[in-house]
Chain A
Amino acid sequence: MATTRQSKQTKAESTENTQTQSDSSSSVSANEALRAPAERKYADELAYLASIDTGPRPFSWRLSPKMVRIFVLGSTPADKIERPISQKFFGDTTLVERAIVTLASDRGLLLIGDPGTGKSWLAELLAAGLCGDSTLVVQGTAGTTEDQIKYSWNVSMVIAKGQSTESIIPSPIMIAMQKGLHGRIEELTRCTSDVQDALISILSEKYVNIPELKTDNVVFARPGFNIIATANSRDRGVNELSTALKRRFNFVTIPTVTNKKSEKEIVLFRTTELLARNSISVDVPPALLDILLQTFADLRDASNAATNEEQKIESSLSTAEQIGVLEDAILHSRFFGDSTLKGEILAGSLIGGLVRKIPEDVTVLNKFWHTVVEKRVSDSDWKGFVEGGKIALGKFK
């Protein structure tokens, strides 16, 4: 099985897309899985939407574009459907619409944006909504080879039976082609240029040649096949996409969330979802959530105002980081505290989550804490938070 399973080192654990095996012989059932893919998690919603869907469906799509939009963005009264569908991606409506429409066209979709903006999550939701399978993923790394995009050989079988259709191990992309599904490529820009070039022919000719076979040596893509790729805009220039490949992708830029209201929704939504795995119900006092958001907003301001790298902390301060901090704090208070989230614990998680380099990050945060956060201590809600942060910072030796 050639599906790559590298975890995304650069991302916080909270937003990781755990990849599951794409074949149906998975030994772990969906209910037992640590993290079920979107199509299993929201199977009910998908089934319901399919049942009421009367709109035209392009190719072999499971849902019409309008229903996919409802699946991703949640339903509104204007949609006139009986069962409310929850919002799963918080962002510009237009952006999601553009993404859906791109997949109905001849071009692939490339979601591009800063780390932690939810690119992979959107890609997963789209794949789940469109074809009911979001697990056909290739993780792009510097070590990704052309085999992982096309196919590889089961060596023992080749020795036993020679090169034949049976001894081929198809890549997730090839499986997607064969079944008319959506293949996903994560971190496309981290792949080397020969891997990227292999994609060009797949995207334009829509078939893969297997020159080793004498007969039956072309795998054609069935209608409905397309590729959803993601790329990190911070890695720009690592492996610059060729113009030819760019032409075959429509770019949809996912912006960093700066709207506090949306960010709050996202943080709560994701944290609730993540903690549901531990069967923990989330009860975050609104004041503490505001404190967390405000501190991140302040940190971003400070980071933007910094004139050199030494004044910045390593963290990208994305929404995903906030989710990580909140999750950590809730778990901490649940297992080591009295189950109620307190400012002190939140501050400890925040400091613990953001300090990556010692002593550089500690120095920056120490200054930030005593100049910016300290000022807010007059507000009683902030008191515990401010003190907790100082204690946490003091523990770094």
Chain B
Amino acid sequence: MSSLDHIRQQLHDAAAAFATDAKPLAELLELMLDDVGRALVEPLLIFPVCHHSPASALHMAQRLRQAPPKIIFMEGCEDMMSVLPQLRECRLPIALQAFALDSNSFPVKWMPLNCILPLTEFSAEFQVIAYCMTHPETELYFVDRSTDHVFQWMPQDENELEDKLAAPGEDDSGDDESPQTKNAPGGSALVLQVGATRPSFADFEHFLLRNARVRSFQEWWEQYVEAAVLGADFATYREVMLLVGSLLRRLGRATADVDSDRRREQYMWTRIKEKLAEKKIAPRDAMWVCGAIHGVSDVEEFGTHSDKVWSIPAKSDTRWQYGLIPASYASIERQFGHPAGTISLAESTWAKSMKALNIKPFRLEKSGPEKKPAKNESAKAAIADADETDEKEESNVPIIQPGVKTGDEILESFFSKPPVLIQQDEEQLLRWCVDLVNLARKNGYLSSTADAIAVYHTSKLLAGLRNRLHPTANDFTDAAITCVEKDRVPGKRDVTKLCQIILGGDRTGVVGYGSLPKLAQDIYDRLKPLGLKLTQQVERALIDYKKHPELLPCSDLLWMLHFLLGDIARPVMGQRKLGEVPIQESWDLSIGRNQRAIIELAYEGVILEHVIEKRLRASVNEPNATAVTALAACENSLLYLKSERLTEDLGNRALSLVELDPTAHDAPEVFTRVRRLVAYYRSTKTGLPKWIKNFVVTGYTHYTSVLPEAFSDRGTKPEQVAGMLAFVFTLESLALSLGCSRSQLVIAIGQASSRTDDPTKQGLLWAAEWLLGLRAVEQIRASLDSALANPLMLPAFPGYISGFLLALGFTPLVARIVVELISKAFERLPEEVLVPWLPSLMLLLRAHGADLFPLVLKEVGNTFPKGLTELKAWQAPWEQLEEPSESSEATDTDSEQGESTSENNGEAIIVSPIGQLLRQQRTAPSAIAAHLGETGAWVEPVATLPAQGEKAEVKAKVVKNSGATEPLLLLQKYPTAMNEIAKLID
């Protein structure tokens, strides 16, 4: 303590000189020095650090070489320790992750719980980890609260976590350098850090920044602490860090944060004491690595001299899983709210300082393909090479003058001297200037060597203005913006962005194969036959399955990945549909930069198939699951898993869901899916499985029973009714063969007929009735003509057309009526009805056009003349039919209706147009009759009535009084032929 007396006096004097009322300031300074003194006398070495601080890392590397402790305690969730051995295989930055899919102990909205702790190479914490892993004689323990406690100690409010996650997430969405921003490492995770040292009290931060004339706390830290302690000796480093920690703790932290800090310190000291007692290690052989703020803690548990421990609360029953995921500089900056480029800058400081101070950092032995450093890291590569040469040279490594100084000397020199200028700074600055101009030129700026000179000059001037011996990266960036940026950005990147690239750019970590979870390893193994470098950002795969049928399993895997993770595996060519066998496929794979997504899949299952099955089962059991989701799950199960067993389970679930749906609003979707499945199963060897047969039967009865309600319910859209009818009519033959009865449908339609007032639904209903033989086309035509004739009903006419258009979805036969109706509409509807209707017609056609258009067009082709010459003589078929029908007494001669109506008509023999033709040209039929050995008289018809258009159709001639048709009469009259045929059959 006494060693600080001198500086104490100095601070007193300073307080008296600067403050209007020196007392409070002097007291504060006194307290701060007490804090530092308390930490310094502690026999257990307190090593204060700041997260991602190269100075901390360099001092740590030196200290560990100089005086390695027997045991190191480190701030960091104690349960995350378990994944540390896997770090060997990785390229940093990497984040330790704790993950829980669900838990009963926390609010449901928080799920899944995801917590990460990012590590960079140039952090003191990584230096400790690397050292302890390469020097087993030193033990390492994380002593901070467990992940479970992190979540336990948050207010258990539904929205609490979201607030915490949202804050750092919002950032550079326009960042063209990292298109994976959305999936950026740590995107939706709660992020922790070792050695968090920054103010959380906004007013303090504002004051600090304003007085220091810097833009961000990071810049402040770098200029006033980092640069100063970088080249200092260890004692100075420690005292300065503790002093700054004390300042921030006393003035800069919000109350809630101070409370949380205290709780964590109690936790850490309790664990430290437990471990020391358990391992029987003296405090002086131990080291505690913690944030500078925690180093000056004022909790009672602080210090090995007191036996006081805290009773640590129990963990919840949550099942936590642990792993490593890649992180990136950009994501770390975003998570901690640092200005862009901070971490890259720290990296360049680290590289530069290592070179200048000739310090060798601790690294983990790497294996696997990830160990080669990237091209743009030449400086680091050189260092790495040097590092790999030999660790034994340690003893020769010059160490920054530790010297034996008393406390006051140390702090005094810190306050009075600027940091040492490192020779490399100058070179670095020149290189930056030249590189920037080159890069700017490539990005469309008209920059030249003159600009490089101007940037260099301006950087120097700015540094001078800002009291710096040498320009920092911030000065350089400002200078570059001043000299190169003009009124507009010519390319995609502005000068700020270019500077970030020059200063190191973003880096994404890679988790090595050995450290990957089983599922991820399985993916890499199964994709091996493709011979791709999966570590690359994006890799294109072209696969010809005809030539290499052995690669078909890869296709399955890629489709599964696409299903689960979207564009991480993006098909450029090829598709996966039911029953489709791939021939050639082309894929863009970005597995390398999306490792995290794959690693997180591993928390859900052991292999991909397992994950998909789990997800499909979960999707159909969700409370809001519908028949559509269940059918989609069935289809996915067939597509990706080819599992009959699972599909059946899911199908049975679909069955129960369709019955539960009282409205049947999703009928159109259900119909298209079932039709697709039925079509697929019919093409397989096994035929239709039981579940789909049951589904069709259930669907048929269910939709039939809700039809009347659907027609009358205004909440049910015509499209939905059309979907139901489509299901019923299209799958009718299958349903009937499985035991359903058409009478149910006939009754339901009968019920519906009196209940609808919507013209579109009315149109649908008429189409359905016509299909069922309940209504003749003439009746429909008569109703519609009367609608056209009645000005009050005119506005409803377009609705009828829409109804028939929708009906095309289940019967192509109505195409003829549709063409007729649309032609009439355009011919007869007044403009005030026609014009407002056109947009809605277009909307309808746009939505359903793909299915309906071919049918309508085909019919139009048949109806209208093919050339101009034919146009003169052309008459619309319905007009041809209308004229004779006016003279006719009969009302209905539709072919299907022929027999039934004939019974009610008097003595008329009704002749189709073909019949008429035969009668006009009697020679040929008589000759045929003679050839058959029959001669007889022609029966003359009383009247003719038009039949329904199609020329190939042979229309029945009906003789009412005998109750038999004309052919029958003929056969009865001339039995010889029949007898001959009967003989042949016998």
| A residues whose Cβ falls under 8 Å from a Cβ of B | 65-66, 69, 73, 76-78, 92-94, 97-98, 100-102, 104-107, 112, 231, 233, 236, 241, 243, 246-247, 250-253
Cross-chain contact A101 with B487 (CB below 8 angstroms): no
Given A243-B446, A251-B487, are A69 and B458 also a contact pair (CB < 8 Å)?
A: no
Given A102-B482, A252-B482, are A247 and B457 also a contact pair (CB < 8 Å)?
A: no
Q: Is B824 an interface residue (CB 8 A)?
A: no
Given A97-B466, A250-B482, are A107 and B487 also a contact pair (CB < 8 Å)?
A: no
Q: Is B846 an interface residue (CB 8 A)?
A: no
Q: Is B109 an interface residue (CB 8 A)?
A: no
Bound-complex Cα distance A253 to B482 (A): 9
Given A101-B462, A251-B486, are A107 and B454 also a contact pair (CB < 8 Å)?
A: yes
Cross-chain contact A105 with B458 (CB below 8 angstroms): yes
Contacts of A105 in B (CB 8 A): 454, 457-458, 461
Contacts of A247 in B (CB 8 A): 446, 450
B522-542 to A contact mask, C-beta < 8 Å, 1/0: 000000000000000000000
Cross-chain contact B210 with A250 (CB below 8 angstroms): no
Cross-chain contact A97 with B465 (CB below 8 angstroms): yes
Q: Is B102 an interface residue (CB 8 A)?
A: no
In the A-B complex, the 3 residue pairs with the smallest Cβ-Cβ separation, listed nearest first, are A101-B461, A98-B482, A76-B211
Contacts of A250 in B (CB 8 A): 454, 458, 482-483
**Interchain nearest-CB distance for A255 vs B (Å):** 13
Bound-complex Cα distance A65 to B486 (A): 23
Cross-chain contact B462 with A241 (CB below 8 angstroms): no
Q: Which residue of B lies closest to A58 (CB)?
A: B461
Given A97-B466, A98-B462, are A78 and B486 also a contact pair (CB < 8 Å)?
A: no
15 contacts between A and B (CB under 8 A): A65-B465, A66-B465, A76-B213, A93-B215, A98-B478, A101-B482, A105-B457, A105-B461, A231-B487, A241-B487, A247-B446, A250-B458, A251-B487, A252-B482, A253-B485
**Interchain nearest-CB distance for A248 vs B (Å):** 10
Given A65-B461, A98-B462, are A107 and B486 also a contact pair (CB < 8 Å)?
A: no
Q: Is B464 an interface residue (CB 8 A)?
A: yes
Q: Which of B446, B450, B481 contacts A98 (CB 8 A)?
A: B481
Q: Is B153 an interface residue (CB 8 A)?
A: no
Q: Is B18 an interface residue (CB 8 A)?
A: yes
Q: Is B212 an interface residue (CB 8 A)?
A: yes
B741-776 to A contact mask, C-beta < 8 Å, 1/0: 000000000000000000000000000000000000
- Contacts A94-B478, A97-B465 supplied; 18 other A-B pairs, CB < 8 Å: A65-B464, A69-B465, A76-B213, A78-B211, A93-B213, A93-B215, A97-B478, A98-B458, A98-B478, A100-B465, A101-B458, A101-B465, A102-B458, A102-B482, A105-B457, A107-B454, A250-B483, A253-B485
Contacts of A231 in B (CB 8 A): 487
Contacts of A106 in B (CB 8 A): 454, 457
**Interchain nearest-CB distance for B190 vs A (Å):** 30
Most chain A CB within a 10 A radius of its CB, from B465, B466, B479, B481: B465
Contacts of B466 in A (CB 8 A): 97
B728-743 to A contact mask, C-beta < 8 Å, 1/0: 0000000000000000
Q: Which residue of B lies closest to A112 (CB)?
A: B487
| B residues whose Cβ falls under 8 Å from a Cβ of A | 18, 210-213, 215, 446, 450, 454, 457-458, 461-462, 464-467, 478-479, 481-483, 485-487
Contacts of A94 in B (CB 8 A): 215, 478
Bound-complex Cα distance A251 to B480 (A): 11
Contacts of A98 in B (CB 8 A): 458, 462, 478-479, 481-482
Bound-complex Cα distance A76 to B454 (A): 30
Q: Which residue of A lies closest to B477 (CB)?
A: A94
Contacts of B446 in A (CB 8 A): 243, 246-247
Bound-complex Cα distance A65 to B466 (A): 10
**Interchain nearest-CB distance for B394 vs A (Å):** 42
Main SS of the interface on chain A? helix
Bound-complex Cα distance A252 to B481 (A): 8
**Interchain nearest-CB distance for A257 vs B (Å):** 16
Contacts of A92 in B (CB 8 A): 215
Contacts of B461 in A (CB 8 A): 65, 101, 104-105
Contacts of B212 in A (CB 8 A): 78
Cross-chain contact A233 with B487 (CB below 8 angstroms): yes
Cross-chain contact A76 with B210 (CB below 8 angstroms): yes
Contacts of B215 in A (CB 8 A): 92-94
Bound-complex Cα distance A176 to B467 (A): 30
Contacts of A93 in B (CB 8 A): 213, 215
**Interchain nearest-CB distance for B687 vs A (Å):** 59
Cross-chain contact B481 with A246 (CB below 8 angstroms): no
Cross-chain contact B486 with A246 (CB below 8 angstroms): yes
Q: Which residue of B lies closest to A236 (CB)?
A: B487
Bound-complex Cα distance A78 to B18 (A): 9
**Interchain nearest-CB distance for A96 vs B (Å):** 10
Bound-complex Cα distance A236 to B482 (A): 19
Q: Which residue of B lies closest to A66 (CB)?
A: B465
Bound-complex Cα distance A243 to B18 (A): 51
Q: Which residue of B lies closest to A240 (CB)?
A: B487
Given A102-B482, A105-B457, A106-B454, are A97 and B462 also a contact pair (CB < 8 Å)?
A: yes
Contacts of B454 in A (CB 8 A): 105-107, 250
Most chain A CB within a 10 A radius of its CB, from B454, B462, B479, B487: B487
Contacts of A107 in B (CB 8 A): 454, 483
Cross-chain contact A251 with B450 (CB below 8 angstroms): no
Bound-complex Cα distance A97 to B459 (A): 11
**Interchain nearest-CB distance for B476 vs A (Å):** 12
**Interchain nearest-CB distance for A53 vs B (Å):** 13
Bound-complex Cα distance A391 to B457 (A): 59
Q: Which residue of A lies closest to B206 (CB)?
A: A261
Contacts of A78 in B (CB 8 A): 211-213
**Interchain nearest-CB distance for B22 vs A (Å):** 13
Cross-chain contact B487 with A246 (CB below 8 angstroms): yes
Contacts of B211 in A (CB 8 A): 76-78
Contacts of B210 in A (CB 8 A): 76
Contacts of B457 in A (CB 8 A): 105-106
**Interchain nearest-CB distance for A272 vs B (Å):** 21
Bound-complex Cα distance A48 to B793 (A): 93
**Interchain nearest-CB distance for A185 vs B (Å):** 16
Bound-complex Cα distance A253 to B462 (A): 17
Contacts of A252 in B (CB 8 A): 482
Bound-complex Cα distance A78 to B481 (A): 27
Bound-complex Cα distance A251 to B481 (A): 8
Q: Which residue of A lies closest to B448 (CB)?
A: A247
Contacts of A243 in B (CB 8 A): 446
Bound-complex Cα distance A231 to B446 (A): 21
Contacts of B482 in A (CB 8 A): 98, 101-102, 250-252
**Interchain nearest-CB distance for A203 vs B (Å):** 13
Bound-complex Cα distance A241 to B488 (A): 12
Q: Which residue of B lies closest to A243 (CB)?
A: B446
**Interchain nearest-CB distance for B19 vs A (Å):** 9
Bound-complex Cα distance A233 to B466 (A): 29
Bound-complex Cα distance A92 to B467 (A): 18
Bound-complex Cα distance A100 to B464 (A): 12
Bound-complex Cα distance A73 to B465 (A): 13
**Interchain nearest-CB distance for B397 vs A (Å):** 38
Bound-complex Cα distance A236 to B457 (A): 29
Q: Which residue of A lies closest to B463 (CB)?
A: A101
Contacts of B487 in A (CB 8 A): 112, 231, 233, 236, 241, 246, 251
Bound-complex Cα distance A253 to B495 (A): 13
**Interchain nearest-CB distance for A366 vs B (Å):** 33
Q: Which residue of B lies closest to A102 (CB)?
A: B482
Q: Which residue of B lies closest to A250 (CB)?
A: B482
Bound-complex Cα distance A66 to B457 (A): 17
Bound-complex Cα distance A94 to B472 (A): 14
Most chain B CB within a 10 A radius of its CB, from A69, A77, A94, A252: A94
Contacts of A233 in B (CB 8 A): 487
Q: Which residue of B lies closest to A98 (CB)?
A: B482
Bound-complex Cα distance A253 to B478 (A): 12
Bound-complex Cα distance A393 to B457 (A): 56
Most chain A CB within a 10 A radius of its CB, from B450, B462, B478: B462
